[in-house]
Amino acid sequence: MVLFDDEETSSPGSEDTSTLKKGFFSGNKHSDSGADSRLEKRAQRDAVKLDRLTIFAQQLSSMLQAGLPLSHALETITAEMDDKVFKLILTRVKENIFSGSSFSDALRKYPNAFPSLFYNMVEAGEVSGALPDAMVTVSNYFEASLKLTKKFKSALTYPIAIVSMSFLLVSGLMIWVVPVFGEMFSGFGARLPWLTQALIDVSQFMKNHVVIIVGGTVSVVIGLKKLFKSPSGAKFLDATMCHVPLFGTLIKKTNIARFCRTYSVLLSSGVPILKAIDICTNVADSFYLSIACTSIKKGIQEGQQLSTLMEGIAYFPRIVCNMTKAGEQAGNVEGMIRNVAVLYENDVNNIVSAMTSLLEPFIICFLGVVIGVIVIAMFLPIFQLSSLVG
């Protein structure tokens, strides 16, 4: 059916109407192509969130285990995907597979979306002819990583939220409430206590320089983010955080659990040891753990055992070295390292629970002391005035 035909229109305004219609649809084409271009750029640039990647791995592994062909499984998941960028990535992956590429090669074209662990384990599954089993392993790995990440973030979210709310509350008191008392006290004509005068001076400074304080805070945060992304900044941050009470232990145990989980999963999937170490280096969020992985890779290339190399690195606790050595002697390194990962993941859960119960009273006490000092400073002149009148 022809929707717009110039020969069929003979009314005086038909030519203009046709022109408008053509312009309207050509404008839509240009806007659609621009949107597609932006999506393509985001598909090459953006990283897929861990929770979405976990759901994708779970869905794909379930369909492959049920006997569905890979192309059919990808088509079903893509059709139900609500994330436009991830949907485009899966569409391109499916097109590459139809063009003759392997699944792992198609995933490898989007390194920001899919971590190296993902497509290396898929490749190992393709080589061994057990892709469904490999996807089950990937799904379980991402699920465990997601739980560990959520536990770690939950340990940081609560104190950060309380401290932020406390900072906003105290700032509000200093900028809007304390100046009212300051104007009232200035009418007394008497010398104020040093605590009250100091608080009023700080309040006036904050009120008169709000823009400078906010701008300076934002600049410092942005500068610190850029600094900590550099090698020297990452080294300093890692060294500092490792010595912070509770948080240092939590960070170190989280990193070791992630390393052991990744290494055991890769070995059990048939990924070569050196490639597994490379992937662990990329997965590690710790500067010192990355250096340790580089040292381990060099030692393995020289023919040394993993447990011997770990014993020479202070980052790995003695229990990790001993369990790794026991696994080497039993011929089940990946199984023993998996047990280490489970052990440290349970430790992380216990530390998070302990931190939540311990930090809450400390933060409440600190907030109470700060607000108490402000209240006492504001009422000291009133108490002195009352005593003089009495």
Higher-scoring residue by pLDDT: 360, 291:
291
Average pLDDT over residues 246-269: 87
pTM: 0.70
Q: So what's the pLDDT on residue 35?
A: 66
pLDDT of 238 strictly over 70:
yes
Q: What's the rounded Cα separation, in Å, for the pair 134 and 124?
A: 8
pLDDT tens digit string along 172-230? 888 888 888 888 887 766 788 888 889 989 998 888 888 898 899 899 989 988 887 78
pLDDT tens digit string along 95-109? 999 999 999 999 999
Q: Which residues does 303 contact at the CB level (< 8 Å), separation at least 6?
A: none
pLDDT of 9 strictly over 50:
no
pLDDT tens digit string along 133-164? 888 888 888 888 888 888 878 777 877 888 88
Nearest partner of 310 among 280, 349, 268, judged by Cα: 280
In the block, tokens 């305004």 appear at: 13
Q: So what's the pLDDT on residue 171?
A: 86
Nearest partner of 58 among 162, 138, 173, 3, judged by Cα: 138
Average pLDDT over residues 304-310: 92
Q: So what's the pLDDT on residue 320?
A: 92
| Confidence tier at 386 by pLDDT (50, 70, 90) | low
pLDDT tens digit string along 328-384? 999 888 899 999 999 998 888 888 877 777 777 888 888 888 888 888 888 888 777
**How far is Cα of residue 173 from the mean position of the Cα atoms in its chain?**
34
| Confidence tier at 387 by pLDDT (50, 70, 90) | low
pLDDT of 68 strictly over 60:
yes
Average pLDDT over residues 231-252: 80
pLDDT of 272 strictly over 80:
yes
Name the residue type at position 105. D
Average pLDDT over residues 223-238: 81
Q: So what's the pLDDT on residue 8?
A: 39
Average pLDDT over residues 261-278: 87
Q: So what's the pLDDT on residue 34?
A: 62
| Domains defined for the chain, CATH in brackets | 50-114 (no CATH), 148-390 (1.20.81.30)
Average pLDDT, the chain: 82
pLDDT tens digit string along 42-53? 878 888 888 899
Q: What's the rounded Cα separation, in Å, for the pair 285 and 291?
A: 11
Nearest partner of 129 among 56, 55, 57, 64, judged by Cα: 64
Q: So what's the pLDDT on residue 82?
A: 87
